[in-house]
Structure 1
Amino acid sequence: MTPRIAIDAMGGDVGVRVMMAGAALARHRHDRLKFLLVGDEVRIKAALDSHPNLRAASDILHTDEVVTGDDKPSQALRKSKNSSMGLAIQAVKSGDCGAALSSGNTGALMAMSKLALRTMPGIDRPALAALLPTLGSNDLVMLDLGANTECDANNLIQFAIMGAAYARTALGLERPRVALLNIGTEDMKGTDEIRDAAAALRDATELPMDFTGFIEGDKMSRGDIDVLVCDGFSGNIALKTIEGTARFVTDLLRNAFASSVRSKIGFLISRPATELLKHHLDPNNHNGAVFLGLNGVVLKSHGGANEKGVANAVHVAAELVEKDITRQVSEDLARFGGSRAGETRA
C-alpha cells in the first residue's frame, strides 16, 4: 500500500511553511509517499514553491477555517466539517487517506477523531501513545499521555494490548516487554485498578508480549521495558517531567560550559559527546504521538516541532499505515477476548 497522508497544514505554532518543509523532507526520504494538504490554498501553494518534489506528490483541499489552540473540544466539534483539522480526519474516515497528521489543539484533535472514526470494537477509550528515548537498544512506547485522566483495569489492559502492537509495528519487536507504571514494584502496591490489570495481563500468555509487572518512574528510561502503560493523568505528568528534565540538563550544561574560558575549552574537547546528548534529548527525533484504538490512524505532531520533527511524525504515520496497526490491534484483542471467553466457559 502506498501511504497517502492528510496533513492539517494550518494547525499548531509552526505554521504552513514548517509543515510543508517537514512533509517535503519526509518525501525526500521516502519517495513513495503521497499527501493531501488541507488548509489555505494560497498559503500552501506559496510554501510548495520551495518543494517541487512535494508538490508533485500532493493534492490540496482548500479551507480557510482553522481550529485554534484556544478552542475547547466542544467548539472544535462545531468546526469539524469545514476546518483543516476536521477535513484531514474526514479524509481518513472516507478511505481517501490512510492517516491524518495535525500539530493543532490536542483536545480538539482527540474529540474530532473519536467522533468521526469511533473506537475499535473491544476498545472503550482511545489512548495517546508516543515513543520516548531510553538507554536501551530501542525507544519506549508510553501510553496514555493525557487522553484519559481516569482509567479502570479494562482500560489499562486495552492500553497494554495496543501499546504492544505499536511496539511491534514501530520498533520491530516480536514480543515487547510491557510494564505498568506504579508507586512500587511489589504486587500489593498501587490502586485496585492497577493491581487488577496486572493480574489479567500476567495470565494473558496468548498475547505476543511479555508482561514484566510494575515499574517505578525512575526506571522507565533505563531500557528494561519496551511499553509503559499508565492512566493519562500520571502519563502526562511523567511526560512533562521528562521533557522538563531534558531541558534542565541541556540548559545546565550550556551555562556550565559558558561559565569560564577553561569551561569553553572543555566544551570544545567534549563537543562530540554533547552533540550526541543533544541529539538523544531532542524531542524532534521522537515527534509524532498516535491516537491508538480508533478505526483509523491519527497522529499529533508537537505544536513547536521543526521540519525534522514534522518529517519524523510523517514517517511514523506512514509506517503505521503500511503495517496496518489497526488490524494488529484487532487481532490481539480477539486473542485476548477469545482466551477470556474460554476461561468463562471452563
Structure 2
Amino acid sequence: MKIAVDAMGGDNAPQAIIAGVERARDQYPDLEFQLFGDPAKVKPLIKNSERLTLLATTEEITMGEEPVRAIRRKKDSSIVRAARAVKEGSADAFFSAGNTGAVLAAGIFIVGRIKGIDRPGLTSILPITQPGAARQSFVYLDTGANAESKERNLVQYGYLGKFYAENVLGVANPRIALLNNGAEEDKGDQLHKAVWQQLNAAADLNFVGNIESGDLLVGKADVVVSDGWTANAALKATEGTAKMMLILIKDGILTGGLRAKLGYLLLKPVFHQIGKKMSASTYGGAVLLGLKAPVVKTHGSSDATAVANTISQIRTMLSSGVIEKTVDFFGRQAVVDKQAKNE
C-alpha cells in the first residue's frame, strides 16, 4: 500500500511529518510512502530511506492562500503533486496537514468524486466521553466541506458514515443520528424535517432519530450526520468549551494554594488520561468521504504522534476496502435510480 504524503504542509512541517511517517513505516511493513516536498528541507530529516521515495517539488501552498486558485496555479506544489499521484494510480491514498481548503479542492478536482456522490463530506472521528460507553469514538460528518447541503447530500452522508463506521471502526449495524435543535421528530427547519423522514424510511440504515449538540459526546449514536455549516459550528463550540474548562481548571490549581497543588499531583495520572482521550492526535485525521481514494487531512499543528496515528487510520481504510464498497453501493444505487426514472 502506497501513501502519497504532502511533506510541506502543516505548522510543524516537514519535521513532524517525516518523523511521523518514519514511525508508521517502522510499525507497518506493508506500507510505502511517496514524500512530496523540497529536497533541501526534507532529505536531511530522513533517518532511514527504506520504503520512502522523495519526489522533489518546487512550490508550496501556504495556509492563507485561496484554495481553488492555489491548486490551479501551483501545479508543482506538494499538495497538487501528491493528489495527482493518487489520480494517476502510483499511490493509493493522499495525506496532508496543510491548507484544509486546498486539500479538499485537490481531493475533489484531482482525485475525483465517486459516481453517484453529489458532494463529498469531511468526516471527523470524535471521542465518546460517557463513562461506561460501549465505544470510544463516533463518526461525524460533514464537518465543513460544504456550507450548504440538500436533502440528498445528508442522506448520502448517512451511508458514507455507515460504511466508515463498519469497515474502519469495526461497528456492527452502526446507529445513525441527525444533528438537530431538538430530539423530537418534528424539530428543525424544512431541510432537517425532510432528511429525518428519508433517513427513517431507509430500511438499510439503523436510524435512531435526532440528536442535540449537547449530546454529541455521550455515545447516543455511532454516526452523526449534519450539514457542514451546522456541524462545524457545533464542533468548534464543543472544542472551545473544552479548552475553556482546561483553562479554568489550570487557573484553579495555580491560585488555589498548597492544597490545590497537592490535589493536582495526586490526580495527575487522571488528567493525563483525560487529555489523551480528548486529544485530536489520538483519533487521526479528517477524511473526505465520497472520493475515489482516501484523502485524509490532519490538524495543521499535528506532531509526529498525530501523523503516525493518521497513517494508521489510512492503512485501515485501504486494507478494509471501504472505498471499494462505497463505490459498489453507489454504483448500484445509480442504476436503480436510473431505472426508476425511466419507468
* Pairing partner for 1:189 from 183, 187, 190: 187
Question: Per-residue deviation at 1:269?
Answer: 1.3
User: Which residues of structure 2 form unaligned runs of 5+?
Assistant: none
Q: Is the 2:168–2:322 contact (alpha carbons within 8 Å) kept by the matching residues of 1?
A: no
- Residue 248 of structure 1 is matched in structure 2 by 244
- Secondary structure of the structure 2 residue equivalent to 1:78: helix
Larger mean CA deviation between 100-109 and 68-77 belongs to: 68-77
CA deviation profile, 1:90-137 (whole Å, cap 9, x unmatched): 111111111011111111111122111221111001110010000332
Task: Output the CA distance in 2 between the equivalents of 1:343 and 1:69.
Answer: 45
Match of 1:269 among 266, 271, 287: 266
Q: Does 1:86 align with 2:80?
A: yes
TM-score by length of 2: 0.93
**Count of residues paired in the alignment:** 338
Q: 1:201-226 deviations in whole A, cap 9, x for unaligned?
A: 22211x2x411111101111111110
- Which of 40, 51, 56 matches 1:62? 56
1:155 aligns to what SS in structure 2? helix
Equivalent of 1:114 in 108, 131, 134: 108
Q: Does 1:96 align with 2:62?
A: no
Matched, 1:216 2:212: yes
AA matched with 1:286 = Y
Match of 2:22 in 1: 24
- 1:309-330: CA deviation from partner (whole Å, max 9, x where unpaired): 1111111111111112221222
SS of residue matched to 2:145 = coil
Q: Which residue type is aligned with residue 138 of structure 2?
A: L
1:230 aligns with 2:233: no
Which amino acid letter does the alignment assign opposite residue 276 of structure 1? Q
Q: Which residue of 2 aligns with 1:288?
A: 285
Deviations 1:167-213 (A, max 9, x none): 112210121111010011222111222222221222211x2x41111
1:329 — aligned with what? 326
**Higher alpha-carbon deviation: 130-139 or 177-186:** 130-139
CA contact (8 A) 2:115 2:331 kept: no
Taking a change above 3 Å as real, the CA distance of residues 343 and 114 of structure 1, as seen in their structure-2 partners, is closer
Return the alpha-carbon distance in structure 1 between the equivalents of residues 319 and 326 of structure 2: 14
Alpha-carbon distance between aligned partners in 1 of 2:281 and 2:246, rounded to the nearest angstrom = 15
For residues 10-47 of structure 1, the C-alpha deviation after alignment (integer angstroms, 9 at most, x for no partner) is: 01211111100111122232222110000011221101
Q: Please say if 1:300 is aligned against 2:300.
A: no
What amino acid sits opposite 1:155 in the alignment?
Answer: N
For the residues of structure 1 that align with 2:36 and 2:263, how far apart are their CA atoms? 48
Letter in 2 for 1:183: N
Q: 1:192 to 1:337 in 2, by over 3 A?
A: farther
Secondary structure at the counterpart of residue 302 of structure 1: coil
Q: Is the 8 A contact 1:86 1:112 kept in 2?
A: yes
Where in structure 1 do 4 or more consecutive aligned residues deviate above 4 Å?
334-346
